[in-house]
Amino acid sequence: MMAAGRIPAVAVSALLWLSCTAEKAGNSLIFASTADATTLDPHNTTDSQSDQVIWMVYNALIRYDEDMRFVPDLATRWSVAEDDVTWTFELREGVRFHDGTAFDAQAVKANFDRVLDPEQGHNRRDLFAPIERVEVADDFTVRIVTRYPFGAFEPMMAHVSAAIVNPTVARARGKSFGYSAEATSGTGPYKVVRWRKDLELVLERNEDYFGENGKLETIVYRPITEAASRVIALESGDVDVITHVPPPDLRRLEENPDIAIIKTLSIGAQQFRFHCKREPFRDPRIRQAISHAIDRRAIIDNLMAGMVAPSTGPLTPRIRGRAELGEIPHDPEKAKALLAEAGLPDGFRTKITTTPRYNMGVEIAQAVAAQLAKVGIESEIEVLEWGTIRQYWGGLLPEDCPLEIFIMGAGASSADADWGLRPIFATQERNENNYGYYSNAEFDEVIHEAMRTVDPSERNALYRRAQEIVYLEDPGAVWLFDNYHVVAARSNVAELTTSPLGLVTFERASISSE
């Protein structure tokens, strides 16, 4: 009923729309992402599609450069006091938010107060839990005090969720901040001028930017969920850059002279986890056996078209504090011996759960099942859609969780060992973030000591020990491979920035006429 009355008005607005949406202009770039940004509120973001837009619109106090070193952003200098808990930041002067409001120490304090306030319920509150308080020393000096010496302080401050929003706009918009073009305001090189959900998000150059101005006048983000459509749109020149190139199309694109491929080793790795509270996975020898039974090279070569690299440790080489521990060799004989030693010489039956949300997620599970069968482990494959598998990773008690062996993509969004190991392997009663109920007393001890260690060499030694435990001695997962972030662009696009975090940004990018 409601529909019938509205149709004519709606049809008119459709016609109006046809005439006023953005067409590809001269100095404009169109980027096809896999999905629309969910939010441009850094304190709420949990997906890379949002993160990459946030980095174009906001700045943080410090950030990672392409080699994952910390460089000044809104802060010009920073240092930690003798007590290892008081961090002082000297801020850049003369910076303005997109609406003209001046940036200062009060703005920084307002930001951390905002994300830490439990009343406001921001998704990223946990990330900043080590912060006790933020003090304004003077207009352009801020002191951040942590509850304990926190080794991953800088990675936390370079995280996308530490980006500084315009507190005036954030306060005025409340919960709706970051969910529309009008309710988004930062200091970044580009500002959001239009956002039609699932159609296009348009950024325009911020002429008053404090840093070097961007070369592109506008950047259009266009979500294309279908991988095949994304590739065709790039080949036909309807878009300039695409991300997440599907492995089967990679070779064809590589051979196309109009297209350039950019591969960046990412912070993400693909693993299979175990329900460690369930038999027979309680026994570390069983987990080692499974790890040795899997032929990772076969999976990488045959399914992933070389778009990934074999894992050589629980964290990828792009993560701060990672240890190089080598590949786990494919050794079916050793796997059988370990099974026998653990009292299961004839193997056992199990279930492998996977989801198509991960690149080749189903095919990988099928390959793993076939490889396990060769050492006597029979498995049935269960394919779950993302919303369903996600529910089994949501704080269940061990007896309520039906998973046995399951696929999982893991990465540290702060590119640091603490966030890459602590949430997912430290002991938890429920599987809130440690989805496999992994529990190892020595690991817990080392990881918590490392977290409270600021000295880099001491810290690295502790993390090396933690990684030896979880990767070799008492494996918490089967590490399959480290992901590459694969981006394809028209060859007239120059200086894209692709980060190990899986982001594509355009601060210096330019486009020449083809």
Partner 1 sequence: MLRYVSRRLVETFLALLGTSVFVFSMIHMIPGDPALMVAGLEAGPEVVEQIRRELGLDRPLYVQYASFLANALKGDLGVSIRTGYPVAEEILDRFPYTLGIAVGGTVLATVGGMLTGIVAAMKHNRFWDGAVMVLSLLAVSTPSYWLGLMLMLLFSLSLGWFPSIGIRTPAHYVLPIVTLGAQSGGTISRMTRSAMLDVLGQEYVRAARARGSRENSVIVRHALKNALIPVISIVGLRFGQLLAGTVLVESVFAIPGVGRLLVDAVLWRDYPMVQGTMLFVASVFVVVNSLTDVLYAVVDPRIRVTSP
Q: Contact residues for partner 1 (CB under 8 A)?
A: 1-4, 6-7, 10-11, 13-14, 17-18, 21-23, 32, 38, 45-47, 118, 121-127, 175-176, 179, 196-200, 222-226, 228-229, 232-233, 235-236, 238-239, 385-388, 390-391, 393-395, 413, 419, 423, 430, 432-433
Q: C-beta of 432: minimal distance to partner 1 in Å?
A: 5
422 HSE (CA, 13 A, CB side):
22
Distance CA 499, CA 484 (A): 10
Residue 133 or 390 having the CB closest to partner 1 = 390
Q: C-beta of 108: minimal distance to partner 1 in Å?
A: 23
Q: C-beta of 235: minimal distance to partner 1 in Å?
A: 5
For residues 64 and 163, the answer to whether their CB atoms sit within 8 Å is no
The H or E element spanning position 54 is helix 48-57
Torsion over CA: 30, 34, 36, 39 (sign): negative
Residue 7 or 441 having the CB closest to partner 1 = 7
Q: C-beta of 475: minimal distance to partner 1 in Å?
A: 21
Residue 123 or 141 having the CB closest to partner 1 = 123
Residue 106 or 391 having the CB closest to partner 1 = 391
Distance CA 502, CA 266 (A): 6
For residues 221 and 53, the answer to whether their CB atoms sit within 8 Å is yes
DSSP 8-state code for residue 101: P
Q: C-beta of 73: minimal distance to partner 1 in Å?
A: 22
Q: C-beta of 142: minimal distance to partner 1 in Å?
A: 25
3-class DSSP state for residue 500? coil
SS (H, E, C) 341-372: HCCCCCCCEEEEEECCCCCCHHHHHHHHHHHH
Q: 13: which residues sit within 8 A by CB, 6+ positions away? A: none
Residue 482 or 507 having the CB closest to partner 1 = 482
Residue 269 or 342 having the CB closest to partner 1 = 269
Q: How far is CA 172 from CA 35, 119, 218, 220, 504, in A?
A: 28, 16, 27, 27, 30
Residue from 173, 165, 155 nearest 43 by CA = 165
Q: C-beta of 1: minimal distance to partner 1 in Å?
A: 6
Q: At what angle do helices 441-451 and 417-425 cross, to 10 degrees?
A: 140
3-class DSSP state for residue 332? helix
- Separation of first and last alpha carbons in the chain: 51
Residue 293 or 389 having the CB closest to partner 1 = 389
Q: C-beta of 323: minimal distance to partner 1 in Å?
A: 22
Q: C-beta of 22: minimal distance to partner 1 in Å?
A: 8
Residue 7 or 333 having the CB closest to partner 1 = 7
Residue 288 or 355 having the CB closest to partner 1 = 355
3-class DSSP state for residue 472? helix
Residue 157 or 290 having the CB closest to partner 1 = 157
Q: C-beta of 267: minimal distance to partner 1 in Å?
A: 13
The first and second tokens of residue 329, run together, are 């060799």
Q: C-beta of 413: minimal distance to partner 1 in Å?
A: 7
Residue 368 CA to its chain's centroid (Å): 25
3-class DSSP state for residue 309? strand
For residues 170 and 37, the answer to whether their CB atoms sit within 8 Å is no
Residue from 104, 103, 159 nearest 131 by CA = 159
For residues 265 and 311, the answer to whether their CB atoms sit within 8 Å is no
Distance CA 19, CA 403 (A): 52
The first and second tokens of residue 180, run together, are 């529309």
Residue 94 or 174 having the CB closest to partner 1 = 174
